[in-house]
Chains A and B, each alone.
Chain A
Amino acid sequence: VNGIHDMGGMQDMGPIRYEKNEPVFHEPWEGRVYVIRRAMGAWKKWTTDHARHEIEKLPPSDYLRMSYYERWLVSTENLIVNAALITRDELESGKPAAGSAKATPPLKSADMQTVLVRPKVTRPDANVKAKFKQGDRVRARNIHPTGHVRLPRYARGKAGVVHQDHGIYVFPDTIVAGQGEKPQHVYSVRFEARELWGPQASPRHAVYLDLWDDYLDHI
């Protein structure tokens, strides 16, 4: 979706606020949200891509007003409700529905290590031929899917060169659309700044993006 999350190249977002000796979490609730999301991930009801997409679906004006962990809080609630682990009524009342069964958490503190290790679901055991090789000139497709997509707007339609083949990964777009993993190669593609931003850009500036086969065409 052409959402507000796709920020590369936007201007006037203000100065970068640097904080010395920044704590990991600024308030306790931020840490709780973060680990609730991690622990709930152990139910394996959604993938990282679903989680990203849930944030992308926030209304743009809300997205901009919310802090990082507020986005996580709201998207986590939505993920849990969408996965039918709780109902919207339970979320809004704050109480389990009468007569609802009590589950057993899949993650105990003893197996904390399993949640720190993100499962390697993104590297499927699949044998798919690479469409491109190092040095190939490619053009990122000019596509505007309404669902989840990891090709930023600023690179669409732009020409670059394949810098490296990273191997085979699952395809986020089809995973979130419920259309399967569609395993394919991901490449590091180098785009010159002048191609992305026009002739006023520096000739000594390039941007590298990691892009799936389905985002690229040969030139």
Chain B
Amino acid sequence: MTFSSGDLLLILPELLIVTAACVVLAVDPVLHPSKKDGMAWLSLGTLATCMGLTASQMSHSTSAFGGLIVIDAYGCFWKLLLCFVTGLTVLLSYSYLKEERLHFSEYYGFVLLALSGMMVMVSSADLLTIYLGTELMSLSLYVMAGLKRSEPRSLEASAKYFVLGAFSSGILLYGISLLYGATGSTRLPDVAAAISGRSLDDSLLLFATILLAVGFSFKLAVVPFHMWTPDVYQGAPTSVTAFMAVASKAASFGAFLRVFVEGLGGVKANWSAIFLLLCIATMVLGNVVALVQTNVKRMLAYSSIAHAGYALIGVVAAGRMGGAAGNGIASVMLYLSLYAFMTFGAFAIVAMLRKGEVEGEEIEDFTGLAKRHPLAALLMMLFMVSLAGIPPTAGFIGKFYVFMSAVEAGMTWLAVLALIFAAISAYYYLRLVMVMYMREPGEVMVTSPRFVMSPTLSIVLACAVAGVVIFGFYPNPLVNLAVQAVLTLK
């Protein structure tokens, strides 16, 4: 295989990120502790440059490295989202890690490495490259999850994540190899050409599809492959949890959609049936189990599982729709980008609600927050309302489009079912609003948790709120972006 310098230019955003990651990791040991803040600013600068470059590639539709990498609006949409979320992560971590006394600058190196993996995932048209991207992302996340070395919970999260992640990667790789056996290629266009006209009666193709579905389901935290999620989300440092819940999920969806639409589009009726079952199971289990959680991080973990279920509705619908499949995919892209704002905002508030040395992550810790920190309570309420999908917030817009594609695909019953579970989910989201606004801090609480505001955190919250409110009232730009991006998906 040959490649030209032009190819390198096309992946300049990725190269920049990797370089910055290497610089951070290399410089860190020799850096004076007082100057380590600079690594955060370096990361932010790189991310901003990278977003600018990616935005300029939005109108491209080319491939590099003999088709291993494609630069199209679809990939750029995800890359922009991922860079943005990573920027928020860096900003949140800056405040949070200092509070936790975990402020190592390697951390930023791992964040950037994970991001580069994610960017490869969403812009690759080759199964093996996608696999490499997935591994790069996952390995970085395993390390980040175990960052609180002194806390057993964090180590447990890391180990659990690693074992199950490695297991799922194995399944994914097995699926790729079977697909290679069935089609003779790992390139998505070749795979698509090879399976056109074939059905899943071909048992090799059937197993390959199922294994790929299972492998991705692990990454997406879809029931019944979600078991790692609550423990890992709860145990990992909260800034990492936010990163995993938003960025890693978005990247996995980005790669997953490309594989199943571009590569396995020929058997979409079949995989649509598989994901229909997973989607229902995910919505039901995620929402019902979230009802009984007492820990906010765990509740948000189950809520993120449930939200993956809602997003899957769009995938299922896309599989059922003929010409209008793009609407289904676009609704998923829209859903995840709106979900990013509200989920990240919610985790940011959890991270900065401090109870002594640790974070106040129990629901009880939020008791009476509206009295003590009216602004934090107001923002948290906004995020909860948005997660529940109540207008006029971004969460409603996301749900609206997903349900619309379900109805368009003739699955009104699925929309009804999902909406009933959305109404059920309102109960646990509102429980948090209730304790914040309607309960007085009891006698039991000697030291009520305080909310630590910092300049970087206020930027994070401002971005999250702006996303939730602006896209709740005026989603047009984002909708158009998603609709146009999806056109480039073949």
A interacts with B: no
A residues adjacent to B (C-beta < 8 A) = none
